Amino acid sequence: MSEYPHDLAALRAREFPWEARGDAIHFDHASVGPIPQRARDALDAYGLKRAEPHRLGMDDFFPVLDRARTLVGKLVGASAGEVVLTTNTSWGVNLAAYSLPLGPGDIVLGSQGEFPANVYPWMSAAKARGFTYELLPLAGTGPDVAAVLSRIDQDPRVKAVALSWVSFWSGARIDLGAIGAACRARGIWFAVDAIQGLGPLVLDVRTTPVDILSCGAQKWLCSPWGAGFAYMRHGLVAALEPPAAGWLAQASSGDFGRFLDYDPAWHADARKFEVGTIPYQDIVGMNEALALLLELGPSRVEAHVRAITTELLDWAQGAAGVRILTPLAEERRAGIVAFTTPDVDGDSAKLRAAKVTHSVREGAIRLSPHFHNTLQEVEVVIAAIGR
């Protein structure tokens, strides 16, 4: 099943030794991703320098962030100048909600079922800026894409669409290409929360029209908390006014000899949205995790995750009393498989007893395997629930 150029057993032994030892089966990337050994090593080395700052050199500051922008750019098909480094998904969502040109009379479309990180910033900005934020009803367990497309088509007041790529509770994936193309054709902004999609799915913003994409790296990108990013389309970087200012957002920030000249000109690239000091150590960890994903190959990772989730869904379809929340069609799902059973709490306890790390969300068992998991681990899950 594995199309990796790497040997999966060797990859697990090297990057996740606790997993190779059998300490746990991590099927919970939708909640928090494990940190690969190479990132842990980099964090340890950086942590030592941080604790004893005389060991820090100039390469430990801005070049760390430059490398991150380049790696993120490679991952999503963007240029480094379109990448804003952030500390979580929420900052990127706020960036969209507070900087896109929206005001009274305008409508931003969202959906019921969204994770609150992609709701509250829009609610708050709607109140502050006077636009209307509307949550469309769900269609099944995901956003009603047909309703979104029809509103885009027929309601000239719609100025932005703000959706998650993949639902955190059902795993339903929306067609970013279809919505993005419809938005682009009508001059409507498309803001995407990508945290549950990027990693198990491949994205190339050169072919998938998205205006602002927000992503924390703590889940499917196997990075420390505090590392994240937003992609902002080139033309928008120049056009938008940052909603918050800070010394590192200014073009003059690189000149440590002239702090007192107070030149308010923004950076010409996406750094203009970065405000102040970024948690370097978390970005060091993210860099190694992203480098690993890029070495494995994002499309091979996608195929690997699909093979594992398909196996889980094949079992769930025949399992007694199991109701699957995740759409079965491959193009409508990503790395999450969610389902209810007649005894969710009991089955969750059985999974815990079998050392399968997972979550229960909105009353359903949520399994979210990734690039380092195996089909043998799926068998452990099936045997544990035993339906």
Ligand X SMILES: Cc1ncc(COP(=O)(O)O)c(C=O)c1O
Q: CA-CA distance, 82 to 212, in Å (whole number)? A: 10
CB of 97 to ligand X, least distance (A): 13
Question: Among residues 88 and 141, whose Cβ is nearest to ligand X?
Answer: 88
Residue 251 C-beta: closest distance to ligand X, Å: 28
CB of 122: closest distance to ligand X in angstroms? Answer: 13
> Between 180 and 226, whose beta carbon lies closer to ligand X?
226
Half-sphere exposure of 340 (CA within 13 A, CB side): 9
Encoded tokens for 169: 């509770």
Residue 268 Cβ vs ligand X, minimum distance, rounded to whole Å: 27
Residue 374 CB, shortest distance to ligand X, in Å, is: 25
Tokens of 11: 């990859």
The residue (of 220 and 315) whose beta carbon lies closer to ligand X is 220
For residues 180 and 204, the answer to whether their CB atoms sit within 8 Å is no
Using CB atoms, what's the residue nearest to ligand X?
Answer: 216
Q: Which is nearer to ligand X, 83 or 384 (CB)?
A: 83
Minimal distance in Å, beta carbon 383 to ligand X?
A: 29
Nearer to ligand X, 168 or 231 (CB): 168
Residue 118 vs 374, nearer CB to ligand X: 118
Binding site for ligand X (CB under 6 A): 88-90, 115, 117-118, 164, 168, 193, 195-196, 216, 228
Q: Looking at beta carbons only, is 278 or 385 nearer to ligand X? A: 278
The encoded tokens of residue 85 equal: 């480094």
Q: In whole angstroms, how close is the CB of 132 to ligand X at the nearest point? A: 22
| Cα gap 97→94, rounded to integer Å | 5
Residue type at position 254: G
> How far apart are CB 195 and ligand X at their closest, in Å?
5
Smaller CB separation from ligand X, 86 or 287:
86
* Least Cβ distance, residue 196 to ligand X (angstroms): 5
Specify the residue, 227 or 296, whose C-beta has the smaller distance to ligand X: 227
Question: Long-range contacts: 185-191, Cβ < 8 Å, 24+?
Answer: 186/152, 186/153, 188/152, 188/158, 188/159, 188/160, 188/161, 189/96, 189/100, 189/159, 189/160, 189/161, 190/160, 190/161, 191/93, 191/96, 191/97, 191/100, 191/160, 191/161, 191/162, 191/163
